[in-house]
Structure 1
Amino acid sequence: MPRKYSLERTRNIGIMAHIDAGKTTTTERILFYTGVLHRVGEVHDGAATMDWMEQEKERGITITSAATTCFWREHRINIIDTPGHVDFTIEVERSLRVLDGAVALFCSVGGVEPQSETVWRQADKYGVPRIAFVNKMDRIGADFLGAVTMMKERLGANAIPIQLPVGQGDMFKGIIDLVRMKAHIFHEHTNGMTWDEIDIPHDLQAQAAEYRTKMLEAVSDEDDTLLEKYLEGKEISEKELLDVLRRACLKVSIIPVLCGSSFKNKGVQMLLDSVVNFLPSPLDIQGGMITGHHPNMQDTVSRKIADNEKFTALAFKIMTDPYVGRLTFFRVYSGTVKAGSYLYNSVSDKKERIGRVLRMHANHREDVDEGYAGDILAAIGFKNTRTGDTLCGEDEAIILEKMVFPEPVIHQAIEPKTKADQEKMGEALSKLAEEDPTFRITTNLETGQTIIGGMGELHLEILVDRMKREFKVEANVGKPQVAYKETIRKKVVQEGKFVRQSGGKGQFGHVWIELEPNEKGKGFEFEDAIVGGVIPREFIKPVSMGIQEALKNGILAGYPVEDIKVKLFDGSYHDVDSSEMAFKIAGSMAFQEGAKKANPVILEPIMAVEVVSPEDYLGDVMGDLNSRRGKIEGITPRKDAQVIKAMVPLSEMFGYATQLRSMTQGRALYTMQFDHYDETPKSVSEQIIEKVKGKNA
């Protein structure tokens, strides 16, 4: 079947925002106005199409990025709905990786919330062009221009309003279009399907003229011809204005700002117009090219984003569907793909057969004969593909830039309730880990316990809940445990010697290493400084492997050791008795002995915490954060509240939600996310070591 919509008429967009900014409702309204839905679904009654997992309907938060397709003004718009809770940041990150543009949603009352900043920084990282939509203009305390100021101050964005609200709060009736200088007043009785286009109300004309001038000044900076016209006082046409706004938006030098109320059905059609007018098509990204490297890791490979190019796609999400099994979501960058064909996974070096190609609409799916460049699709039949893998033709291999996933900061022991649950639990956990690369499963070798790791308490809670619902596995979960690490602070030189003579062939490995702290975040580095063959080449790698194995269990409390440099500079060997195993053990012994003398320390995860509290409780909240070893970084006023930013150790934050609620009578809110690892104070280290020793005693 030939392509229905050209690449120029394709938009791959994400809707990104803080939790509760109205993302899912906005997507619902988009589907309603584009004719995909025939009934408006509300998040608060659990009927929203995009929030299709049970937990999402119960909690009213979006957890997984559901993909859906709709059409507007003869354009295909593929939408990925992303979660706003910090524990699901990975979902946002991987969605942004395959999108071309984004709609950033802000609440007109809260403005730029902490998660808005996080998501914005993620979008900056990938250079994603975006437009901003200030939602919930019908709420008491709505402040459109206040939200725009916050975007400028807190995000450093060149946010330029291209609309103004007609009224705010209960009086919000419609919007002023600053490009056409007309007002749109929406009809309540048609669910906002119709509206009147009128002249700008008299009392808003001065404000509209002021903000149109600001918009023209900002746009003129982007184009010399337009600047000339503007300075000469000549008329600037609507087409000229839209063209330059589009170019500026694609360069991320201007963020066009719109307003509305998705819940009250106002402004969504104009938002769709702006998606088509300003956000990029696949051809606008990186000059219409996709670049990666050959599996040999040397040569750069570039391809045009076109149907007649060699096939290139990126798998960005794995999901288990109750009816069809394993679904692999992928973005096609170049070429085409048919159901039943074979593809090559250039990362795992495996061939994959694509059984069916599906276009997803939240939780229902449509079979597609053929997928084209720019499409976001799901495949059934892949067995060896993981999140971040590249799919291509075997004789034309390419590897696209891989996604990097953070290590877990929190661990919990998990045990099946019954023998029957035991078998199912392993399968359920591995399926969940396939879907979510930030969810890790390990086994404690000493106790045999299964340990799960993730990005926060809510993250693990939801995964355990999914295990119960989707896989019918009942499990007992232990208390959350902090993922501590160890490192060293001093440079030392250490010998490691492993000798075993017991008749017959013995074992002999002898090394001298220099051990020193590495830069933060650099991990483990090994330098081979052996000269003159004092240790033969074949025994060098085993030394490194022995040290790396020893790094898994630090000498203070058995936590993983990181950010360490090791230089192997001397040693000796025996012609007969030396072996790879002997040198592996010698390397491990040298490291363990050296680490004891190198001033070892314990590192703990530090969380960036932001508390929004009424002024009355400010003293209590700050006192409580200080008692949790928190470092207050700053306090800023926000409307009738104060925002406290602090760095607090994760170990001190368990149970914080309950404490904050009781301390402020439920009037304060907080968010936290992992920021960095830092050294624990001596007294805390001693407690951690005692606790570990007590367990092992």
Structure 2
Amino acid sequence: MFLSRGPSLWRVATALTVLRNFAALPQPKADEQNPLTNVRNIGISAHIDSGKTTLTERILFYTGRLHAIHEVRGKDGIGAKMDHMELEREKGITIQSAATYCQWKDTSINIIDTPGHVDFTIEVERALRVLDGAVLVLCSVGGVQSQSITVDRQMRRYSVPRLAFINKLDRSGADPWRVLHQMRTKLNLNTAPLQLPIGLEDKLAGLIDLIDRQAYHFEGKFGEDIRQVPLTAEQAEEVERRRLELVERVANVDEELGELFLMEEPIDADTLRAAIRRATIALNFVPLFLGSAYKNKGVQLLLDGVADFLPSPLDVAYSALDVNRGEAPVALSGTRDGPLVALAFKLEEGKYGQLTYMRIYSGCVRKGDPVMNSTTGKRIKVPRLVRIHSNELQDIEEASAGDIVAMFGVECASGDTFTDGSVRYALTSINVPEPVMSLAIMPKTRESTANFSKALNRFTREDPTFKVSADAETGETIISGMGELHLDIYVERMKREYKVEAEVGKPRVNYREAITKRVEFDYLHKKQSGGQGQFGRVVGYMEPIEGDTRVEFQNEIVGNAIPPNYIPSCEKGFIEACNSGSLIGHPVEGVKIALTDGAAHSVDSSELAFKLACLYAFRDCYPRAAPVVLEPIMDVEVRAPAEFQGTIIGDLNRRKGLIQGSEQEGDDVVLGAHVPLADMFGYSTALRSMTQGKGEFTMEYARHAPVSADKQAELASSHKKARSS
């Protein structure tokens, strides 16, 4: 409930209300803990530079977890609490998601602050997988930007109810009503503001709460004192108009409020608040809050909104797969009384060993308890259990349903499920995008080879989108990731954390190959060199799968022309062949391979013989399937002063970009384009030169698409020369 009385009530949420979370005091017993109805697990997500970390810093201050506010790239050299990595504080961006917890009035809140840069999208992905609600932060000047759309898509993927917070109302050019329109049109959200701003830009003085029809000014050094002020006649008229729009929006998706609205009954604050909560949890409405985190205005009202409108663990229907019953879906209780079911969603390597972040969906876990990894079937004891406050750890004795905690010293992988052994449930895994860019890398000195290997091993365990492989032809170590910044950060971390100076090759694009027409094959693999030979005949076809990237194998043989025990070897042979196409040596995707007939020899046939038969059959018929090379196409958004629009469009055209649209936003123009990744290297430097340092851009992977015929010939020729040399 929003507070409508004097400033003293706003000071209740101080450190005294959260002392039970500190290591200095004994841990509460289970029956002393907050009921699950008062628990919120939320993430804070947005486009880069929308103010997520600044907002989290204020939340921690107002809830008593911090006793001083520090800024991102702060002048005092300390920096924001949630950006604890040295690199994050230097660059002023969030690289790794950071977890914390706090208490606001009667509500316990677990928070994950996520990165805004698209290269670190996996951090947002795995955070949203385990959260019950989220806050989508939008800049009042930038509005709905490219990463805002990506985050919205991720929230929809995991059915996460969210609040929206339009930040930076103090900035020049702030226009929350334009952002509201973009949310409704670009994101297709049913949303309405719950507040009105009192002034904008440098005249921002406070906010008016539409539910309670109350106006507030935020005073004191850090906006901690909130003073209620009377509404003017003009404000009161605007409040009634906007409140009616809010009621209409909610009434359209909530039956109870809809009946009252149609009967023209008066709708009080409690009735409206309850309807907004129901509609938000049902994913039918997004409450919109306003404010300025940097200027300390509106954050307390947002915290009230988190408590009032976002779901508790009891409001969310959780399910798992029962491994012992053929992965049949099973509902989880979501309470402390059920069997333990927890998901390891993030790993970090620290000086004390592996730190495993986990969300508990059911039951309890205590330090020293035996638990089972459902993925591997291994049983272990929990050596150490901790709560996380950014880079600080607090030992606890137990955790239960609704908690986000971490275990130390447990070997597992991201996405593993832990149970108490009474059941063997598995939780659905996290969506992991494929890397789009690669670099060849090697240590400069032989002495640093050991640390080089340690660093790569750690980074691959922590980040599922960071891949390491060896080039089969050159023997080089290849690292792959989501973009230039993503790989640059890991090279820099290797230097700082492991003292490894590395030589880095030119960026490589992760091309793919595909076929464009159906072809049939009939291949006999026969080899005799004394003793048992090799014999395997395979007959079938392969054809492209439209709009899919899978490699699909089907056994369409009627009878036992090929003995059933050799079919898995046939599949292995085809899959192995698809790992390297003959055009440029990159993986083949979007192909269906089917076996329709074959032949076996009673003596000379074997698993190896059929695997080789399928591998050679694929290589033999692949050139006849009109193969093409696919390259990653990036969705690029460029923002710059309108005077540079012509120059930017001309440069994008030279980079073989296809302009998708343009939009005027104040003095700036926002251009959207699809551009091949291979032509985007060095674009940040070029854009700064073109726009006198005033332009900025973001890009994210959109799809793979065929390259031009001349480029395909050039790539194939280069691959052929590399192989021959």
One-letter amino acid of the structure 2 residue matched with residue 479 of structure 1: K
Deviation at 1:175, TM superposition (A): 0.4
- In structure 2, how many angstroms separate the alpha carbons of the residues matched to 1:536 and 1:103? 57
**Do structure 1's residue 172 and structure 2's residue 201 form an aligned pair?**
no
One-letter amino acid of the structure 1 residue matched with residue 355 of structure 2: L
Deviation at 1:47, TM superposition (A): 1.6
Identify the residue that residue 675 of structure 2 maps to in structure 1. 648
**Do structure 1's residue 244 and structure 2's residue 271 form an aligned pair?**
no
Q: 322, 344, 359: which one pairs with 2:372?
A: 344
Identify the residue that residue 312 of structure 2 maps to in structure 1. 281
Deviation at 1:225, TM superposition (A): 4.7
**Do structure 1's residue 216 and structure 2's residue 247 form an aligned pair?**
yes
**Do structure 1's residue 191 and structure 2's residue 222 form an aligned pair?**
yes
**Do structure 1's residue 453 and structure 2's residue 485 form an aligned pair?**
no
Question: Aligned in 2, Cα 1:534/1:213: closer, same or farther, shift over 3 Å?
Answer: closer
1:615–1:641 CA contact under 8 A, matched in 2: yes
Identify the residue that residue 24 of structure 2 maps to in structure 1. none
One-letter amino acid of the structure 2 residue matched with residue 533 of structure 1: N
One-letter amino acid of the structure 1 residue matched with residue 311 of structure 2: P
2:41–2:111 CA contact under 8 A, matched in 1: yes
2:319–2:329 CA contact under 8 A, matched in 1: no
**Do structure 1's residue 397 and structure 2's residue 424 form an aligned pair?**
yes
For these two proteins, the number of residue pairs brought into alignment is 692
Percent identity reads 45
Question: Aligned in 2, Cα 1:647/1:224: closer, same or farther, shift over 3 Å?
Answer: closer
1:330-358, Cα deviation, whole Å (9 max, x unpaired): 00000000011121111122223221110
One-letter amino acid of the structure 1 residue matched with residue 380 of structure 2: E
One-letter amino acid of the structure 1 residue matched with residue 668 of structure 2: A
- In structure 2, how many angstroms separate the alpha carbons of the residues matched to 1:394 and 1:445? 42
One-letter amino acid of the structure 2 residue matched with residue 582 of structure 1: A
1:9-28 equivalence runs, <5 A: 9-28=38-57
Superposition RMSD in Å = 1.5
1:97–1:126 CA contact under 8 A, matched in 2: yes
Unaligned runs of 5+ in 1: none
1:295–1:346 CA contact under 8 A, matched in 2: no
1:133-187, Cα deviation, whole Å (9 max, x unpaired): 1111111111121211111111111121110110001100100111111110111
Deviation at 1:27, TM superposition (A): 0.4
Q: 598, 601, 604: which one pairs with 1:577?
A: 604
- In structure 2, how many angstroms separate the alpha carbons of the residues matched to 1:37 and 1:225? 41
1:522-537 equivalence runs, <5 A: 522-537=549-564
- In structure 2, how many angstroms separate the alpha carbons of the residues matched to 1:500 and 1:141? 76
State the TM-score, normalized to the length of structure 1.
0.97
Q: What secondary structure does 2:238 align onto?
A: helix
**Do structure 1's residue 613 and structure 2's residue 645 form an aligned pair?**
no
Unaligned runs of 5+ in 2: 1-28
Question: Aligned in 2, Cα 1:226/1:540: closer, same or farther, shift over 3 Å?
Answer: closer
Q: 246, 255, 264: which one pairs with 2:286?
A: 255
Identify the residue that residue 206 of structure 1 maps to in structure 2. 237
Deviation at 1:681, TM superposition (A): 0.7
1:47-84, Cα deviation, whole Å (9 max, x unpaired): 21000111111111111111000001111000000110
Q: What secondary structure does 1:394 align onto?
A: coil
Q: What secondary structure does 1:568 align onto?
A: strand
Identify the residue that residue 359 of structure 2 maps to in structure 1. 331
Q: 61, 71, 81: which one pairs with 2:113?
A: 81
Question: Aligned in 2, Cα 1:292/1:540: closer, same or farther, shift over 3 Å?
Answer: closer
**Do structure 1's residue 425 and structure 2's residue 456 form an aligned pair?**
no
**Do structure 1's residue 463 and structure 2's residue 497 form an aligned pair?**
no
- In structure 2, how many angstroms separate the alpha carbons of the residues matched to 1:678 and 1:264? 46
Deviation at 1:223, TM superposition (A): 4.2
Deviation at 1:290, TM superposition (A): 3.2
- In structure 2, how many angstroms separate the alpha carbons of the residues matched to 1:310 and 1:229? 42
2:254–2:279 CA contact under 8 A, matched in 1: no
Question: Aligned in 2, Cα 1:622/1:392: closer, same or farther, shift over 3 Å?
Answer: same
Larger deviation, residues 178-187 vs 576-585: 576-585
2:198–2:208 CA contact under 8 A, matched in 1: yes
1:564-607, Cα deviation, whole Å (9 max, x unpaired): 11121222222222222111111111100100111111111111
One-letter amino acid of the structure 2 residue matched with residue 4 of structure 1: Q
Q: 385, 388, 394: which one pairs with 1:360?
A: 388
Deviation at 1:639, TM superposition (A): 2.2
Identify the residue that residue 148 of structure 2 maps to in structure 1. 116
2:367–2:397 CA contact under 8 A, matched in 1: yes
Deviation at 1:674, TM superposition (A): 0.5
1:260–1:268 CA contact under 8 A, matched in 2: yes
Q: What secondary structure does 2:147 align onto?
A: helix
**Do structure 1's residue 591 and structure 2's residue 618 form an aligned pair?**
yes
Identify the residue that residue 408 of structure 2 maps to in structure 1. 380
Deviation at 1:224, TM superposition (A): 4.6
Identify the residue that residue 61 of structure 1 maps to in structure 2. 93
State the TM-score, normalized to the length of structure 2.
0.93
**Do structure 1's residue 302 and structure 2's residue 302 form an aligned pair?**
no
Question: Aligned in 2, Cα 1:520/1:229: closer, same or farther, shift over 3 Å?
Answer: closer
1:249–1:256 CA contact under 8 A, matched in 2: yes
Deviation at 1:522, TM superposition (A): 4.5
One-letter amino acid of the structure 1 residue matched with residue 337 of structure 2: N
Identify the residue that residue 538 of structure 1 maps to in structure 2. 565
- In structure 2, how many angstroms separate the alpha carbons of the residues matched to 1:89 and 1:66? 14
1:103–1:133 CA contact under 8 A, matched in 2: yes
Q: What secondary structure does 1:304 align onto?
A: coil
Identify the residue that residue 30 of structure 1 maps to in structure 2. 59
Question: Aligned in 2, Cα 1:594/1:182: closer, same or farther, shift over 3 Å?
Answer: same
Identify the residue that residue 128 of structure 1 maps to in structure 2. 160
